[in-house]
Structure formats: C-alpha cells, structure tokens
Amino acid sequence: MKKKVAIIWGLTGQDGSYLAELLLQKKYIVHGVKRRSSLINTSRIDHIYQNPQSKIRNFFIHYGDLSDYGNIFKLISDTKPDEVYNLAAQSHVDVSFQKPEYTADINALGTLRILEAIKNLNLANKTKFYQASTSELYGLVKEKKQSENTPFYPRSPYGVSKLFSYWITVNYREAYNLFACNGILFNHESPRRGETFVTRKITRGLSDIIVGNINCLYMGNLSAKRDWGHAKDYVRMQWLMLQQKKAKDYVIATGRQYSIRDFIVKCCKHLGIQITFNGSGLKEVGIVNNIKNNKYPHLKSGDIIIRVDKKYFRPSEVETLLGDPSLAKKKLKWSPKYNINDLVEEMMNSDLKAAERDKFIKDNF
C-alpha cells in the first residue's frame, strides 16, 4: 500500500515533535519544517534520528518560515502531501502583546499562505488540512464551559490572530471544498513544553529550588484557571480529525480546570512538600509548611518559595478556560490517557533530573 505523506509546520515545537513520532509509528512519510536559527533548535526531535531503528528514510526536514509564501508553495508542490498540519505559531500569549504585528503575520497570514498554496496547486481534492486553533479564542468567556458553539472573545493579539486563522480555515472549507478543520485545543503540556509557559516554569522552578540552584520562583496571576491536558493525548486527536469522512471543528479538552495556585500545590505535593499561600495580590507568597522526611537540605519550613511579580501580568487576561469535549468524545471517541496527576508526575520527574544535572555541572566544572 502506498504510504501517506504528511507535512508538519511547527515540527520543532512541543506538538510537532509528538505528532512526528505518532505519524512515523503509523508508517507515514513525514516532512517537517524548521526555521533557521543561530543555535540548534531540534532538541525535541533529535531522538528520532538517534533511534537505532532509525525511521530516517521516512523523515525529512526542510528549512522554511510561515512568512515566506514561495517557500510554502514549493514545499507543498514538491511533497504533494495527503495531510498538512499547521502547528507553527508565535504561540506565547504574553509575547504577542510585545510583538503584535509579527504574531499576526505568522499566526494569521501564515495560515492563509498554506491554504492558498494548497488551493493554487489544485490539491483541494487530495490534501487535508489541520489548523491548530485554541481555547484562547474564547478569552473573556461567554459560557462557563466552552464548546464548539460558544461565541469567541479573544483577549490578546495572539487570540485575535488565531481568530483569523480559525475563520479562514472554515472559509476555505466552504468556498473551495477543501478538507480543512480546526482543532480548538485547550492548554496541553508535557516535559517538552516551552520553558516560559506556566506549567513548565513551575516544574522547572520548583526543581531548581529543591536542588539549591535558586531560592524563590516569581509568578504572575496565580488565580487564573486552565483546563490542562497532556500533549500526547492531544496530537492523537489532531491526526484523528483528518481521518474522518467529513471535515469538522472540534474542542479538545479534559473538562476539568485548576488554578495556577492549584498546580503549584500539586507539584509540591508530588515532591513531598506542603505549601500554604498567604496574603493577596502582589503581596501573596507561597510558604513551605512541612517537608516529608526532611529530604531537601536546602529547604526548611517557613521558607518563602513563591512570590508575585507584576511583570508577569498581562495587559488583558484570560481568567478562566474550561472545555466541553462532548462532541469529540462522541464522534472521535475521545478519552485522554493522562490525568492532571500523571501530567504533574511526568513533568516534575523530567525537570528534577535536569535540575540535578545542572547542579552537578555547576558544582563540578
């Protein structure tokens, strides 16, 4: 049987790396796009090449950028993909306030450029398209639980750029009969999550505190609530959406939400640390209450390990996100393998190892 060909924009990111693994397991020929950078930016996919049973013959990496239509057109023309996954983006909400035009160019027009290339190459009958849409579209939420029918109200240049991409994907489906769908994905994390997103900042920061690399972690809005899942579970759904008979948009979420404070408490619990939060606003602090077996020589009861710094607050915040994945559960048989505690455990264990390695290097070299 002829192997399916897929191309992934955003290969070097969290989701791109897990999706490449999944598609290679499914015997696809995978093309991925990476940006030129002054430092090597392939740490999330290097293991695919390093695997002794290398899937290298099915795995091709190309330079590219979503700002460059000619490059996009050529990649699609050369590979004639069965499936295109657009996971590339300036994906940091806070950064989008500082780089609004760049964010719009890549996240909004970048999507249009891919869709235009598929259309102009007359591939609408062959190529299926997945767009990485987001729960940030709901922003100032209009319903307690957000589903495919909840109105959008984005709250950042990132959210607004993704609103364009959502609608241009729907428009190309309706106008040109392209198999194009939006996955409206709620926050999903993993040990491969970028280090400046809140969950990873917490798991890394707490790991650095307990090995003695730092004393305290500075955070923004601790009361924001998110519906967090595991990236591995979510990339499976990206693939599944393109295997359906009819293109449709789906919410992917767990249906449970926790505050940033809750996430910190869970991570501390995993480490055997009891933490209490005292005070409010910028004066709120997280204090160590008790440490199981007194196992961390650098920490003692009464230590303040969390403080709030206003520089991490956003000009307009998304206070709460909670997804309703009923449609995906029914039609795609969605059921995540990981819960929040599994996620915390995997992220904490991975970052603890990294912090211990850093400490060893600092102490010995």
Binding residues for ligand NAP, rule: CB under 6 A, are: 9-16, 35, 37, 41, 65-67, 87-91, 106, 132, 134, 185, 187-188, 194
Is 189 catalytic? The answer is no
Q: Say how far apart CA 215 and CA 224 lie, in whole Å.
A: 24
Distances in Å between the Cα of 189 and the Cα atoms of 11, 59, 291 are 16, 24, 27
Of residues 68 and 317, the one with the C-beta less far from ligand GDD: 317
Options 28, 85, 158, 234, the catalytic residue: 158
Say which entry of ligand GDD, ligand NAP, none residue 226 contacts (CB below 5 to 8 A, set by partner kind): ligand GDD
DSSP string, 83-136: EEEE--S---HHHHHHSHHHHHIIIIIHHHHHHHHHHHTT-TTT-EEEEEEEGG
Annotate each residue in 92-131 with x if it binds ligand GDD (CB under 6 A) or - if it does not, as one string: -xx-------------------------------------
The upper half-sphere exposure of residue 326, i.e. CA atoms within 13 Å in the direction of its Cβ, equals 6
Of residues 198 and 288, the one with the C-beta less far from ligand GDD: 198
Question: Near ligand GDD by CB under 6 A, which window of 79-87, 311-319, 339-347, 352-360?
Answer: 311-319
Choose which of 4, 74, 269, 314 interacts with ligand GDD (CB under 6 A): 314
Annotate each residue in 221-250 with x if it binds ligand GDD (CB under 6 A) or - if it does not, as one string: x--x-x------------------------
Cβ-proximal residues to 221 (8 Å cutoff; 6+ apart), any chain: 260, 312, 313, 314, 317, 319
CB of 354 to ligand NAP, least distance (A): 17
- Please report, for the chain, how many H helices and E strands are present, in that order: 12, 15
Is 356 catalytic? The answer is no
Is 276 catalytic? The answer is no
CB atoms within 10 A of CB 348: 22
Say which entry of ligand GDD, ligand NAP, none residue 314 contacts (CB below 5 to 8 A, set by partner kind): ligand GDD
Cβ-proximal residues to 149 (8 Å cutoff; 6+ apart), any chain: none
Cβ-proximal residues to 200 (8 Å cutoff; 6+ apart), any chain: 189, 193, 194, 347, 351
Element (H, E) at 284: none
CB of 84 to ligand NAP, least distance (A): 13
* Positions marked catalytic: 134, 136, 158
Residues forming the site for ligand GDD (CB under 6 A): 91, 93-94, 134-136, 186-187, 196-198, 201, 219-221, 224, 226, 260, 312, 314, 317-318, 321
